[in-house]
Each structure stands twice: as C-alpha cells, then as structure tokens.
Structure 1
Amino acid sequence: MFTRHYKVWPHELPKTMTLPKTSLFTNLEISARRFPDHTAIIFYDAPITYRRLLTEVEAMAGYLQSQGVQKGDRVLLYMQNSPQYVISYYAILRADAVVIPVNPMNRSAELEHYIADTGAHVCLAGQELEGFITPLLAETDLERVVVASYSTYIKPDTDLTLPAEVSAPAWCGDVPGLVSWEAAMAEARVPAEHTAGPDDLAVIPYSSGTTGAPKGCMHTHRSVMATAVHRVFWNLSTQNSVQLATLPFFHVTGMTGSMNGPIYCGATSVIMTRWDRTTASRLIERYKVTGWTNIVTMAVDFLSNPDIGQYDLTSLNMIGGGGAAMPVAVAEKLKKLTGLNYIEGYGLSETMAATHINPNANPKPQCLGIPVFDVDSRIIDVDTLEEKAPGETGEIVSNGPQVTKGYWNRPAETEAAFVEIDGKQFFRTGDLGYYDEDGYFFMVDRVKRMINASGFKVWPSEVEALMYRHPAIHEVCIISSPDPKRGETVKACIVLTPEAGGATTVEDITSWCKEQMAAYKVPAIVEFVDALPKSPTGKLMWRALQEQEWEARNKTV
C-alpha cells in the first residue's frame, strides 16, 4: 500500500472510509426524508425541494418500468444539465436500470454505437437533441424516447440570461415513439420495489480512449458511491453547502462533484445548462455558492470578465477541478480575486472521477494531489512494469473502490487495462507521471501525447503552463508537427487576449519563449487562432488539432 502521503494527510479526516452498502438512489431517498423542504436544485432562479425531486424521480421511474425497463437494462440519458437530467438519472437508478450518460455533442451516427453497444431500448433526451435521436427509432432497436423541455422548469420572471436551449418553447410534437416529459410524468406511475444493491451496475460512462470506438466503463453503485462520498468528506460539505454546477453531468467530474455528492449530503446544486461567466458570477453572489468545481478554460474565462470585481464572491470556500493542469499564473489570479487556492484533482471515466485530490490545507501547484481514501497508486515502467522511485517518470496505476469493473462487452481490453501488483489489480491509466518525496503525484503527460524532437522529449502540458505566463496569451495548445530533420517539432496554437490582438507578433512570442524555456521546447511554429476546439466539458481537443496539423503538413510534402 502506498503510504508516503500520510504525512500530509488532512488531520481532520480518516485514512480509510467505510462506504454505505446501499444504492445511489437510496442517497436521494434518505436526503428527502431528512430535509424534505430543503432546496435540492436551483435552475435559473427556480428552486426544487428534495421532496419534489424524490416525487418526480418516483414518477419517472414508474413510467420507465411501464415501458418495459427491467433490472439491469441500459437506458440512454442524452441531455444537458437541467433538473430533468438529475430526475432522469435517479429515475433510471430507481427502476434498477443502468444509466448510459451520452455526450450531448454526439449526433445520430455516434448514437447508433451507444444503442447497439448497450442494447438500450429507451432514451431520455433534451428537446434540442430530439432531431438526432428520432431517426434511430426506425433504424435501431430503440423503441421509446422521452423528450424533455428545459423551459418548463425555469422561473418565468428570472432576470438571468438564458441559453437558447433553456428559453426555447416547450416541445409538443406528435411523433410515434416519442412522448413529452410532461405526458410521461402525468401518468403518475408507481414503480415496483427498488432492489438494486452496491454490486449491481449503476452507470456506464463512455471513454473515448485513444483508438477505435468509445468503450463503456462499467461502474457499480459501490464505485459511484465511493467518489460521491469521498468528495463530500474531503471538502467537508454539509446540507448547507451550495455547489455551482457548471461542468456537464454526463462527465464523471460534474456527475460526482455537482450532482451525486450534493445529493448524498442533502446540499444544494445551482445548475447551469451552458457556461456563461456573467451568469456564473451572479449565481455565486445571489445564492451564496460555497463550492465551484470547474476546469482551466472556465477559470480563464471567469477571470477575463472585466466586471468580475463588481460581484460578491466571498461565500466561496472551495474552488477546484481537474482535466488539465491549472497554470500557475491563472491560479494566482484566482487566489488574488477570491483568497482561495485552486484545489486540483485527478481521475478518469474509468475511476468515476477522483482517485487523487490535493489536501485543502497543503495544495501544490500543477499537482494531481495525493491518493484519497483507500486508494493505492503506484508509478510503473510502461514496458517492464517495474515500480519507479520518487521523482522517476512512469505510468500511473491505481487500485481503489472507485475503479471500474472493466469495459462493457470488451473482455480483451479489460484484461489489458489491468496489471497485478502485490496481489492486487491496478488500473493502467495511460498517463505518465511521478510522485515526490511527500507522496504528491504530478502529471507529465499522456503516454500518447509526448513530442519526440530529435530524441528530446517534450511534454506539451509543461510548455503550455510556461506560456500561460505571457501576458498576451489568453489560451494556448501545444501539439506536434512533422519535421524532416527532427522527426517532430513543437507547434503552439495561440488565442491572444483582446488587448494583444494586432499588437503581438509571432516573433514576440518566440523571443519570449527562448528566454523562458530550454531551446528544444521552444515552439518552432506559432499560429494565432481565433479559438481553440473544445469538448463539451471544456477540455482542449489537442488531438483534433494535432491530426489536422499532420494531415495538412503531409499533403504539402
């Protein structure tokens, strides 16, 4: 067991955690009994109590069962952050079925894969996505789609700026196989007894991986429960905590930190369907938000708001996130504004979010954190599988209660994803990193992302972190580009700040980089762009940029 980090372990927390031997749905049931009139959700000024939330979950669960959903069946959940998402998620669990969270950026061809792979017959979808799922009723085994209109849950007199999807008039189509959310709820079906337990499948999030079609990560009620409980205790959350939910619920970080965690302890989630920095600031001030889990791109945009100083952000007592290292310069600006350290964590779809989190009292910058409750993490050689010593780079592997059981219908890939150490199965993350003498883990990069320039290893995340110190750089993504002499060389795709646009040259950036980093790390190619491609979770899509770069360069050879 890795214990090097115990010397920096939070003194107020135990090192091991006994998890509830119940289903995730039971968390909602218990919170509704304890705090029936407490606000569970605020959606653009509209509150929903725990009593109402449980009532609507029960009704939707009954409807799903009336449509033939049985224990263990997979049900697609294809919508954006909204009260209906939370209700759908817990209704599927209440029906003893399995949630298949689908990225709302996916379109018909991609949805076909999820339907075929999971055998799903029912889908709950946002109305803005109805056009992508409807054609599949005739082409796949999909039989029923419940269409949710976000506008039916907003407060009509809200003064907040609403996304188009939220303000759109409610869907009222008449299509075979489709039913409106309201019609399904109006049937007021009573579900059968809830029987799912900790070892039953609960959620199968899909991991894009590095090659091939997305693969489903099988998570039981126990593994999803683990990260929900871990996050609540690590952040010392209570029923009076208020979480700003800006990360999408289909992604495990948003699912855990902004939905499952708050429901476990009876707290409040202030839900945003789409990111908007002004709306986020107003919600923090209006509802005295205490916690906000985000990603680098959101934090950068939040700080770029010229009016940020006008808002009262003093209620915040925790800001953190993961997905990519937080540049020191950005973290410093955030601390100057809020007085808070940015608490970074690390996890994957295969681990249902965090396996590592920084201690709140002793965080280290650009650090994954330390292994949380009952997590055993090691660093191993990618090829020989031998364990590495402190400071030595290798692949991060983890064993813990939140680790996936494996990939859905992919036994060979499941077997390849694990390695046995000291008689225990460790998940191979595919991430390169190291740990220091205090037991803090640091990311070097993805195994596949390293740039090999004439034998020199360049880690893009390191170069990006350095370049964020330049005052003219708003966003940057480092990728590789083919080079006839070096094999690969370094390219920087840069979004300049509004003030720097037109006044900053490629030569300015290159000269500055030469002063800040080793010569082999300096971008040989610098390209100014209007925007960088991002996933629905806000992560920079470096792979898409890199593939475009290699395709374009190879065409010119």
Structure 2
Amino acid sequence: MYPAPIARERPGARAYVMAPSGESLTYAELEARSNQVAHLLRERGIGPGGTLLLVLENRLEWPVLVAAGMRSGLYVTPVNWHLRAGELGPLLAEAVGDGASCAIVTSARCADVVAEALREVGKPALLLSVDAGGDLEFLGDAVAGLPETPIEGELLGARVLYSGGSTGRPKAFRQQLLGVHPADAPARHAGLAAKLELAADTVFLSPAPNYHAAPFTFQLITLSLGGTVVCLDRFDAERSLAAIAAHGVTHSQWVPTMLLRLLRLSPEARARHDLSSHRVAFTSGAPCPPEVKTAIMDWWGPILHEYYGASEGYGHTYVGPHDALAHPGTVGKPLSGSVHVTDDAGREVLAGTVGKVWFAPGGSVYRNAGDAGADLRSVGDLGRLDEDGFLYLVGREGHTIISGGVNVYPTEVEDTLLTHPAVADAAVIGLPDPEFGEGVAAVVELTVERAGDVSGAELIEYCRERLAGFKAPRRVEFVASLPRLPTGKLNKTLLRDRILSGDSGATGEGA
C-alpha cells in the first residue's frame, strides 16, 4: 500500500472513512501524514527490517501508521488489542527482544495493558500513543513539523500476522521483505482481487477488527488500487447496513457469525437501508454454513463469494456465488497451486474421503520468511475433495472427536447450532467420557434477546433432529463470550482447558 501515486493523480479522493462518525482521510492527507510518521520512525532509529507494532482499535490513525511502515521497510505487526498483559507479553517480547529496532503505537484505552506487558520484556526504541494527555509520548506532538514528503531510500515493508498454531499460542508469520521500492510492489492476491472485481472505484466496507488477517489484507489491496475503505469502529449488524447505504459501499467482507447477525435483523431493520450499491460480498475466517449462504443470497442476490486461506498464507481456495449454491458447503477450488488431501501416512485419498488438507504453493511472491523448501504445506485443517475438485472442510486436526470409535467433526455440529435463532456463537469440543472415550460437548453464546430463554436440552434435541444421534452434543454449557485467537478463530484449546479446570465462565448448563 503506497499512497503517493494516487495522491498525485487524485489528491481529493477518499482513502479511508470511519463509520459511523464519518471522519475521513483523502489520499493527499494519507500521503502527507504517513510521510511524517515515516520520518519520525527513521529519526528514532527504526530502520528497514525493524518492527512497527500496533496495539490499536479500529481508528483513523490505522491506515496512516500502516502506510508509514509499508514505505519504510518495516515489519508491520497488528496485535489483538483485547489481549490481557499476560497474553500480550509474549508477542511484545518477540518484537522487542529480537535485536531489531521496534516501535509500538497504542491508544489510551490499551496503554495500561501495554505498559504492564512491557515491564517483563523491556521497552521498545519508540513507544507512542495516538491519544494526547497520558503518560506516553503523543504521536501528534512527535510528528509536528516533520516533512510531508517521502523519506530517502523508501523500501517496501511486510506484514506480520499471528496464527493460533496447534497449541493455541499465537505464532508470528512474517512475509519476506522484498527489498524493492513500494511503487514496485507486486499485486497482493491478484487472482482473488480479480474474482472479486476490486478496482479503483471500490468502496470497501471493513466491519471486523483491523488486526484480523482478512481486514488487514483487503484494506491493503483496496488502498493499493486507489479505492475507499469504510471501516466500522466495531461491528454492529444494523450499523453495517447503514454504512453501506451512507457511503455507497460496493464491496464488503464478513465472517459467518456476522452474516448470522445480519440475518437476525428484523424485516423493518433490513428495509430501512438502501443496499443498491452493494454488488460484491465475501466471507472468510471459517467455513460459512450453506443455510447462511442461501439466506444471504435470497436477501442480497447472488453476490456472496467465499475464500479459504490461513494466516500463514500457504494457499487459498475460492468459490463464487453460483458454484456455492451448486456445491453446498464447499470452500471452493485453489486459486493458484493445488490442494491435496492425505491420510495419516501422507498418501492422497480418494474423492469423498476425509483427510489432512495440504497446499502446494503457487507463484505468489508474498511468502513467509523461512518458507522455502517444502513442496506441500498444511495448517492442520481436515477436509475432503469431491469428484469435481471442490474442497469441503470438516474441522481441525486435533479437534476431531472420537466418540465410541466414531469420528465426529465439530464444524458440522457447530454449523447446525448456529442455525438456531437463539445461538450467537458456538464451539464444539470433545471431553473425556468414561463410556465413549470422548463425549461431544457444546459451548454456546446466546443472543442478547434470547439469553436465559433456551435450555441445553432444547439445543441437544435441535441437533438430534438434524444430525445423526452420535453427533449431537451430550452436554451444553452457556458462556457470556467465547475465547478467540488473534486471527479471530475460536481458541478451542483454551476453551477445553478452562472447562476441564472448571473455569469456563459458564453462565448455565444443560444436558
């Protein structure tokens, strides 16, 4: 993402808009402010190969900081700002303690947690807040009077994203620094961008936290093309529709839980907002239940696309609206390279057989540092290919439940639970069972409207009516919220440990 050429050609074009406040940046403003931050970083010793770590909510400073890092040869590293100090500490330690220069930018809301986490790991070369009045140096004061023109020797930076890994502990995946000028940056996900018709006239709604992989990536793509990002300060179903109408949004990105909450809006709430500008929507982050896709396209028309890929960036699949309806449940075919499904011995299995999913990487230059060497790469997902080559995901390696000698794949049960009108979010895990080895357990977050209004027994029966009996949960616990990884995916390892220790935060239970 390099705003300079767009600022020259269309200085007054909108680059970034915060919703619902309407605060915005033109490309000329984004160019000037990101240059000032780049000068600050250079003056404070944060040189190429260093780290710019963002512990920050969705706000207008976000694209300025990202653009500054991406034009300064830095590793731009967004971090989940909801983390507590004990969770944040290991992430900061890796950035501060690796011997490279590091700048951390945070906000008044997160400053105390950042300070507590840093007590154990040491201070970075530069620590700033986007808010004035606190104990930290204020970004606005730090850049005052600095040049609004580019630094000398601009270099393309790289993104760092965190994956949960097999243990649930976040692991950093750094894309390689390419050593080129930002103006010469290769297109990101060019095949996917073409499928989604992203272009200079795109107005992209980003309703999710910016530290998640998909919002971060698609904001970069949109701004690289000269489009407009409309960023929600936090997700809310009706405010999302209001933003589409108010800003003429053409493209939007969602996770399945968001789509469910949109579908649960009343007919009156849906009708209040003109969505005629909205021509492309896409979902990622977790497989989207077929019923949800169908319902969204009944409402919006056949505009919902889906792609599957991991934060590690090993590969991606894509499915368009019409193929999604013809092949319910698929996450599509690979956009580049190839997808393989193998058994435990590494042998490819027949179509229709569940196994471990592997990507043979395509030709993308945006590879992670240290990725060279392996022909096939996996993130531990389980799935199957059909006769036409479409991929279907069924769960994660290590999350498969073996109950009475039979495999139960949590994704199928979770998808069923999520169709219940009282369920806002659900995680299905295996717990020790003296008779069956493992028993199927569901941990459920209810909607605000139905909290306390549905029993575990009701949800168990709901699943039994729609699934084979052995797949239905034997136990249901209700929680106020489910733990998630920095990627946005459910942290089932942590959840299972909490339940086994009796510290799940359960608000009720049913069997």
TM range (shorter): 0.7 to 0.9
Name the SS for the 1:193 alignment partner: coil
Root mean square deviation of aligned Cα: 2.8
| Structure 2 residue identity aligned to 1:283 | A
Name the SS for the 2:105 alignment partner: strand
Q: 2:68 aligns with which of 75, 81, 91?
A: 91
What is the CA-CA distance between 1:262 and the residue it aligns to? 0.6
| Structure 2 residue identity aligned to 1:480 | G
Change (3 A) 1:474 1:141: closer
What is the CA-CA distance between 1:396 and the residue it aligns to? 1.5
Change (3 A) 1:328 1:362: closer
What is the CA-CA distance between 1:473 and the residue it aligns to? 3.9
Query: For 1:337 and 1:82, how far apart are their aligned partners in 2?
Result: 30
Q: Identify the residue that residue 162 of structure 2 maps to in structure 1.
A: 206
Q: Identify the residue that residue 434 of structure 2 maps to in structure 1.
A: 484
Q: How many residues are aligned here?
A: 486
Change (3 A) 1:480 1:341: farther
Change (3 A) 1:202 1:379: same
Between the aligned residues of both structures, percent identity stands at 27
The 10-residue stretch of structure 1 (33-42 or 539-548) with the greater mean CA deviation from structure 2 = 539-548
Change (3 A) 1:394 1:368: same
The 10-residue stretch of structure 1 (36-45 or 230-239) with the greater mean CA deviation from structure 2 = 230-239
Q: Identify the residue that residue 428 of structure 1 maps to in structure 2.
A: 378
Q: 2:258 aligns with which of 283, 298, 307?
A: 298
Query: After the TM superposition, which residues 10-89 of structure 1 pair with which residues of structure 2 at under 5 Å, given as runs?
Result: 24-25=1-2, 28-43=3-18, 44-89=21-66
Name the SS for the 1:516 alignment partner: coil
Question: Cα deviation per residue 1:20-47 (whole Å; 9 max; x = unaligned)?
Answer: xxxx43xx33332333221111123123
Name the SS for the 2:329 alignment partner: coil
Question: Cα deviation per residue 1:308-328 (whole Å; 9 max; x = unaligned)?
Answer: 222112221122211222223
Q: 1:108 aligns with which of 54, 64, 85?
A: 85
Q: 2:124 aligns with which of 142, 149, 156?
A: 142
1:205–1:217 contact (8 Å) kept in structure 2:
yes
Q: 1:216 aligns with which of 168, 172, 181?
A: 172
Question: Cα deviation per residue 1:427-482 (whole Å; 9 max; x = unaligned)?
Answer: 22211112212221111111011001011000010112233344454433212121
Name the SS for the 1:351 alignment partner: coil
| Structure 2 residue identity aligned to 1:284 | I
1:395–1:432 contact (8 Å) kept in structure 2:
yes
Relative contact order: is structure 1 or structure 2 higher (C-alpha 8 Å, sep ≥ 6)? Answer: 1
Q: Identify the residue that residue 128 of structure 1 maps to in structure 2.
A: 109
What is the CA-CA distance between 1:243 and the residue it aligns to? 0.7
1:326–1:366 contact (8 Å) kept in structure 2:
yes
| Structure 2 residue identity aligned to 1:196 | L
Task: Point out where structure 1 has 5 or more consecutive residues left out of the alignment.
Answer: 1-23, 150-170, 420-424
Q: Identify the residue that residue 440 of structure 1 maps to in structure 2.
A: 390
1:41–1:83 contact (8 Å) kept in structure 2:
yes
Q: Identify the residue that residue 320 of structure 1 maps to in structure 2.
A: 282
What is the CA-CA distance between 1:225 and the residue it aligns to? 5.1
Question: Cα deviation per residue 1:205-236 (whole Å; 9 max; x = unaligned)?
Answer: 22221227532212036699554433321211
Name the SS for the 1:220 alignment partner: coil
What is the CA-CA distance between 1:63 and the residue it aligns to? 0.7
Q: Identify the residue that residue 251 of structure 1 maps to in structure 2.
A: 212
Name the SS for the 1:396 alignment partner: strand
Change (3 A) 1:513 1:73: closer
Quick check: 1:465 aligned with 2:422?
Answer: no
Query: For 1:456 and 1:498, how far apart are their aligned partners in 2?
Result: 35
The 10-residue stretch of structure 1 (44-53 or 461-470) with the greater mean CA deviation from structure 2 = 461-470
Query: For 1:39 and 1:33, how far apart are their aligned partners in 2?
Result: 13
2:54–2:105 contact (8 Å) kept in structure 1:
yes
Query: For 1:113 and 1:105, how far apart are their aligned partners in 2?
Result: 15
Query: For 2:212 and 2:170, how far apart are their aligned partners in 1?
Result: 14
Query: For 1:106 and 1:298, how far apart are their aligned partners in 2?
Result: 21
Quick check: 1:371 aligned with 2:331?
Answer: no
Name the SS for the 1:510 alignment partner: helix
Q: Tell me which protein shows more helix as a share of its residues.
A: 1
Query: For 1:552 and 1:111, how far apart are their aligned partners in 2?
Result: 24
Q: 2:362 aligns with which of 369, 381, 400?
A: 400
Question: Cα deviation per residue 1:299-358 (whole Å; 9 max; x = unaligned)?
Answer: 222222332222112221122211222223322332232223532211111108x61111
The 10-residue stretch of structure 1 (359-368 or 59-68) with the greater mean CA deviation from structure 2 = 359-368
Question: Cα deviation per residue 1:32-78 (whole Å; 9 max; x = unaligned)?
Answer: 23332211111231231111111111111011101011111122122
Question: Cα deviation per residue 1:496-523 (whole Å; 9 max; x = unaligned)?
Answer: 5567666644443333433322121121
2:357–2:381 contact (8 Å) kept in structure 1:
yes
Q: Identify the residue that residue 358 of structure 1 maps to in structure 2.
A: 319
Question: Cα deviation per residue 1:146-199 (whole Å; 9 max; x = unaligned)?
Answer: 2113xxxxxxxxxxxxxxxxxxxxx223x4xx32121122131455323435xx
Name the SS for the 1:270 alignment partner: strand
Query: For 1:134 and 1:81, how far apart are their aligned partners in 2?
Result: 20
What TM-score do you get using the length of structure 2 for normalisation? 0.87
